[in-house]
Amino acid sequence: MAFLSELASDIGLVVPKSRLVELHINGSNQGVYVEVEQLDESYLRNSGRMPVNLYKGEQRMLETRYGVENDLFNNPSLWSKLAVNNHLEEEDNYDLAMALNLLRGAESSERDTKELKRMMPMDAWSRYSAYATISQTFYNSFMNSRLIVDTWSGKVLPILMDPHEEIFSDPEGVILNSATRWQHGVLDVFERHSDFLLLKYAHIYRALEQERLLEKQIQKTRLMEGKLFSAVDRDPNMAQKVLQDWYWNLDYRKRLDHFFTGITNQGKVIVGRLKAFPKGEWASAENRLLLRVEGVSALDEIQLRLATAATMPNAIAWDKNRNGLLDPEDPKLPVVMDGNTITIRAAFMANLVKATDRVNVAPNNEPARFKTTYARSPVATRFALVSDVVLPIESISGRNPLTGERQDLPRGEAAGMIPSRWNNPVFDSPQKPEQVWRGELVFNQDQIIDEPVRILPGATLALGPGVSLIFRRPVTALGTPSKPIRVISAEPQQPWGTFALIGHETAGSRFANLTMRDGSGDRLGLVNFTAMLSIHNSRDLVFDRIHLARNHRVDDMMHIVYGDKILIDSSTFIDARSDALDIDISNVRIVNARIETPGNDAIDFMSSRAMVQGAVLKGAGDKGLSVGERSEVLVVDTLVSKSSIGIEAKDDSTVQVVHSTLRDNRQHIHAYWKNWRYGTGGTVRVDKSMVLGKADKPLAAAKKSLIKINDSTIFPAGKWNKRTQLSADVDTDGITEAKSSHYTPSAARLMAAWKIPPTPQVRGAKQ
C-alpha cells in the first residue's frame, strides 16, 4: 500500500501519506503495519487547502445503508463528512448534491458536460483513471470513494483511498478502461469522452515510459528490503490470509518479487498497447474525406498531400451531422497549410465498446483461478470531414501523439462505426475574441464571462440588486486618475453581489484607478464568494490605485484565496463591514495601502506568505494585522493605529515587523495558540520600530508563543510576561534613532527575500 501510495503521488494524485512501520507498544513488538495519514480537516490544512467538505463514500459491510440503492454517485445522502466546510452547516451537502446532479446531467447534456469538466477538472480525474489502469485497480461506485468539494476553487477532486493492485498471469487480463456494472460514477461518464482518454493515456505514457515512475519506485523499495525483511522476520503475527488461502511463515521475499515482476510486466503490456500505431484508412470524394481509426491510441496531426495545382481550402470541418455539407454548426478544425500539404491539428480516436473476458489471475505454478473482466475496447470508427473546395488528395499520413511516430495511411473503404456521442475530434479551440466594455453598462442579472475583457477608462458598471460579475479569463481595467472605472449599485440602497476573478485562466489581469462601493457577495454554482471583490485560484495579478468602500452583508471587502504573485499597490479600503482584506493560502505583496475603520480586521492572513510595506492601518474594530494558520508576513514601514489589537499572530505563524510604528492601540501586540492542529502559537519579532501610546496590555504572549523586540522604542513602558523578550538596545523614552547598524538575522533574511532596501539607522515608520 505504501508503495502504491507513493506511486500515485508521483503520478500527481491527491493521496494521504503512508509508510511502513514496525510498531512497538510498551516495548512489545506488534509487527509491521502501514501508517496512513488520517483524512480530516488537518489533512486539508496540511496539504494547502481551505477547510472545506471532505466526503467519505462507503456503502458496504458495517457502513451499508439498507433499503436504498448502492450507487454513491446517485445519492448524496449516502456520503458522510470527514471534514466540514466552516462556512456551511454540518448537515448541508448542497455542494455534493450539485456535483452529482451535474454528473447525471452530463450523460445527455452538452451544457452540463462542459460545466462538469470545469467542476471536476479532467487533468485531476484523468490522473486518477491513469493510476487505476497502471495498478489494475478499478474503483467502483459503492466503496472507497473520497471527495474534496472545494467551494473556493469550485473544484471536486478525488482522493485515492486504500490503493492496491491486481496481478494477472495472463497479459490478456490487463485492461485499459473498466466497464463493470458498478464502475466508479465519475469515470463511467468521463471515460466515454475522447478528450479525457487522450489525457489519461498521456499520463500513463509519461509515468511508465518517459519518467519511469514505476521502475523508480521499485528501485526505491528494493533499497529498503533489508530493513523490511528484518522487521517481517520479527513480526509475531505471521499467519496471513492471501485471497482464499491461509499461510504460515509466508515467504514475503517471494511474494514481493512476484508483485514487482507482475506489475512491471503489466506496465509493459500497457505501454505496448499505447505505443502500437493505430490502424488507419481513408477514402475521399469531391470535398469529403472519410478517416477510419482503429486501435487504442489516437491518430493526430493528419497530413493531407494534395495534387500540385490544387486549390487550398478556407476551412475543413468535422461533418458532425453527417449530411455531406459544410454547415455553420460543423466544428471547424485547426489546420496549417504548407505548399500543397495540409496538417489537421486534431486527434481522432476509436469508439470504445463494452466487452467481457475470463482470465487467469493465479500466480505462475499455482492452480488456475479465473476472473471475469469487464473492459471498454476500441472498435473501428469512421470520421467524416468536409471542406469548402474539392480535395484532390494524393496521400495521407497520421501520427501517434504519444510516441510521435508517423505512418502513411492506406486508401480504402474506411468502413467503421460512426463516432459515439462523446467521441469528438480533440483540438484546441480558438481563443474567444476580447470583449471591450465602454461607457455606462447596466447589468440586471448575473454574468459569467468566458472571454477576455477590456474595460476602458471612464466606464461605469452599474449592477442591480444582488447581481454579480464572474470573470473566467483575463480582465484589463486600466482607468486613469481623471477617468476612473467605477463599479456601483444600479439602485440606491440595494447592494450588488460580487466582482470576481476565478481560475488560473484569469492570470495576468490588471486593474488601475478602479473604484467599487456598495457590493456584497454571492454564491454562484459551487462557489461561495464572501467579498465585494473576490479573487479565487488565480495568479500574477496587479491592483494599482483601487479604491473600495462600504461593502454589505458578507464579511470581506476584498478576499484572495489560492492566489499567487498578487500585488496591491497604492489602494484604499474604507469602512469595510468586517475584514477589509482577507487573504487565505496566498502569496501577496501589499504596498502603500490605506485601510480605515474596518469593522473587524484591516488585513487577515491565513496560511499565507506576504509582505506589507508603507501601509496605514487605522481604526480596526479588531486587529490591524491578524496573522494565523502557519503564515509568514513581513511588515515594513507601516503604521498601525487606534485599533483594538495592533498585530496578532497565532498558530505557528511568524510576523517580522521592521521600521514600523504601532500607536494608540488598546493592545499593541498579541501572540497566542488557538488551533491545536498547529502545535504551537505565534511569534512576533520587532526590529527598529516604535510602540507608542498607553495600552491596556501593550504586549502579551500566551503559551507556546513569543514576542521578541530588538533595537526599538516602547513608550510608555509597560508590564509583560516572560514570553516577551526585550533586547538591551530597546528604549522606553521616545528615542527614534536606531542603536545598531544591523538588522536581526530574521529581519535581514526576509527583507532580502522581498528585496527591501536597508535603512538600518531609523526606527519607526515614515507615516
Residues 698-711 pLDDT 10s: 999 999 999 999 99
Pairing type for strands 667-672 and 645-650 reads parallel
CA distances from 346 to 238, 385, 424 (A): 56, 12, 10
User: How many whole angstroms separate alpha carbon 101 and alpha carbon 76?
Assistant: 9
pLDDT for 714 equals 93
Q: Is the Cβ–Cβ distance between 372 and 170 less than 8 Å?
A: no
Residue 461 C-alpha cell reads as 458598471
Reply yes or no: is the peptide bond before residue 278 cis, omega within 30 of 0: no
Query: In this predicted structure, what is the pLDDT of residue 168?
Result: 65
pLDDT of residue 369: 62
Instruction: Look at residue 270 in the predicted model and tell me its pLDDT.
Output: 95
Cα–Cα distance between 33 and 602 in angstroms, integer? 49
Cβ atoms within 10 Å of 237's Cβ, excluding its own: 10
H/E stretch holding 317: strand 316-318
Q: Which among 157, 11, 237, 12 is positioned nearest to 526, based on CA atoms?
A: 157
Cα 371 to its chain centre, rounded Å, is: 37
Residue 394: C-alpha distances to residues 279, 389, 487 (Å): 19, 15, 59
Contact between 505 and 484 (Cβ < 8 Å): no
Q: Is 476 exposed, middle or buried (0-12, 13-18, 19+ CB in 10 A)?
A: middle
Provide the pLDDT for residue 374. Answer: 73
pLDDT of residue 741: 87
Amino acid letter, residue 497? G
* End-to-end Cα spacing for the chain: 59
Q: Give the DSSP letter string of 442-465.
A: EE-S-EEE-S-EEE-TT-EEEE-T
Q: How far apart are CA 403 and CA 273, in angstroms?
A: 12
Tell me the C-alpha distance between 50 and 53, whole Å: 9
> Does residue 156 contact residue 123 with C-beta atoms inside 8 Å?
no
Rounded to an integer, what distance in angstroms lies between the CA atom of residue 552 and that of residue 278? 60
Q: pLDDT value at position 161?
A: 87
| Regions of the chain with pLDDT less than 70 | 1, 165, 168-169, 180-181, 238-250, 357-373, 767
d(CA 442, CA 659): 46
Question: Phi/psi at 622 (nearest 5 deg)?
Answer: -125, -95
Distance CA 258, CA 170 (A): 14
Residue 216: per-residue pLDDT: 95
Written as nine digits, the cell of 358 is: 475470463
* Contacting residues for 83 by C-beta, under 8 A, at least 6 apart: 39, 40, 41, 43, 44, 51, 52, 53, 54
Query: How much is the pLDDT for 367?
Result: 67
Q: What is the pLDDT of residues 492-518, one digit of tens each?
A: 889 999 999 999 999 999 999 999 999
Q: Which single residue is written with the C-alpha cell 538600518?
A: 760
pTM: 0.92
